[in-house]
Amino acid sequence: MKKSVLFFLIACVLFPAAVPAQEKHPVTIAVSPWIGYGPLYVAKEKGFYGDVDVEISIIADTDTRIARLMGRYAQIVAAPAGAMVRKSRKELDFRAFMVIDESRGGDGIVAAPGTGSIKNLEGKKVAMELYSPSEFWLDMLLEERDLEDLKEEMEFVNLDGLEALDAMRRGDVAAMVGREPFLSGARREFGAEILATSSETPGMVVDVLFTQADTIERRGDDLAAVVRGVYRAVRWMEDNPTASKAIIKKYLGEHYKVNADFNNTFNAVSFYGRDDNIRYFGTEDDPGEFEDTLDDVIDYWKDKKELSWNPDPEDFMNFTLITVPES
């Protein structure tokens, strides 16, 4: 053995401080430009993640965000539960470990002035991103109103966001199913009327932090720090709404250029703290409402033949992190 190598090994034993510390890798969270993920930004700005380096990557396309998780370029993805279930495979081992927000008016359907009700969309063109959380929400809404057959009488145009808004502006479609800030944009620009929103379907449209099972095993402490940071952020936001909005605008301002649209979206979201998560998840022995939501989502994608396996809700739920204390 060379003397230099031998000396290094002896030094490592006698003087452990001389051994370089292992680099601590950041936790990357892939998100869309949605106000519902605001607690992630607030936690980062206020230092609520502690000594864990959290990087937040804004990616509009859902499939790209999920691909980042699958490729290990991100450790966490924030997304609607339905989107993650649809892209799941058994070997990917997706795990939902906390809910970050619920849409309570942030998703909905708006129509041309004078439409009056959803029933009056029979035979009309409606803009909506197909095979999306918006379509899932619409199906659940129509089922609750006993209007399932009405969907077959509408003509759907596969458009979302600005494209859907432009189609309404031109009169190419009579209505739009989507989320804020585009609903507010339609109301502001041409007086579109709201026919229904997610405030009528509590607990159905939730955004969830997902990771993979082996990431929880390898980096459980870091994920716990993220959960703790979000909990602290939600609490802080309740006490400091104006400052919270300023922080979120710092990160998302270019996506919400009209102040009224920003405020409308912020007010249409309910942020989930620790008590909300514990209530919604429940326990392994006594699951909460999230199990029912996942059950509906799974059945929905099965009916559309979009799942390559036969999962149960518990295949996606991790209960170990939601009980992390706030401090």
Please spell the DSSP secondary structure of 33-57, one letter per residue.
S-GGGHHHHHHHHHTTTTT--EEEE
Q: Are strands 269-271 and 155-157 parallel, antiparallel or unpaired?
A: unpaired
> How many residues are there in the chain?
327
Of residues 73, 64, 85, 84, the one with CA closest to residue 26 = 73
Of residues 179, 162, 151, the one with CA closest to residue 79 = 179
Q: Looking at residue 36, what is its pLDDT?
A: 96
Domain residue limits, the chain:
27-104+203-315, 107-200
Q: Looking at residue 8, what is its pLDDT?
A: 39
Q: Looking at residue 122, what is its pLDDT?
A: 95
Characterize 77-90 residue by residue with b for buried, 16 or more Cβ atoms within 10 angstroms of its Cβ, and e for exposed. bbbbbbbbbbbbee
Q: Looking at residue 183, what is its pLDDT?
A: 93
Crossing angle of helices 161-170 and 182-190, rounded to 10° = 20
At residue 138, the 3 state secondary structure works out as helix
Q: How far apart are CA 11 and CA 30, in angstroms?
A: 42
Q: How far apart are CA 99 and CA 142, in angstroms?
A: 25
Q: How far apart are CA 297 and CA 140, in angstroms?
A: 10
Q: How far apart are CA 301 and CA 83, in angstroms?
A: 10
In order along its 327 residues, the chain shows pLDDT tens digits of 544 444 334 434 444 444 333 357 899 999 999 999 999 999 999 999 999 999 999 999 989 999 999 999 999 999 999 999 999 999 999 999 999 999 999 999 999 999 999 999 999 999 999 988 899 999 999 999 999 999 999 999 999 999 999 999 999 999 999 999 999 999 999 999 999 999 999 888 999 999 999 999 999 999 999 999 999 999 999 999 999 999 999 999 888 988 999 999 999 999 999 999 999 999 999 999 999 999 999 999 999 999 999 999 999 999 999 999 988
CATH number for the domain formed by residue range(s) 107-200 = 3.40.190.10
Q: Looking at residue 257, what is its pLDDT?
A: 86
Characterize 171-186 residue by residue with b for buried, 16 or more Cβ atoms within 10 angstroms of its Cβ, and e for exposed. eebbbbbbbbbbbbbb
CATH topology classification for 27-104+203-315: D-Maltodextrin-Binding Protein; domain 2 (3.40.190)
Pinpoint the alpha helices (H) of the chain.
3-14, 38-46, 62-70, 81-86, 133-144, 161-170, 182-190, 213-239, 241-252, 259-267, 274-281, 289-303
Q: Looking at residue 25, what is its pLDDT?
A: 87
DSSP string, 253-314: GGG--SHHHHHHHHHTEEE--HHHHHHHHB-SSSB-HHHHHHHHHHHHHHHTT--SS---GG
Q: Looking at residue 12, what is its pLDDT?
A: 46
Element (H, E) at 178: strand 175-179
Domains 27-104+203-315 and 107-200 share a fold: yes
At 275, give phi and psi (nearest 5°). Answer: -60, -40
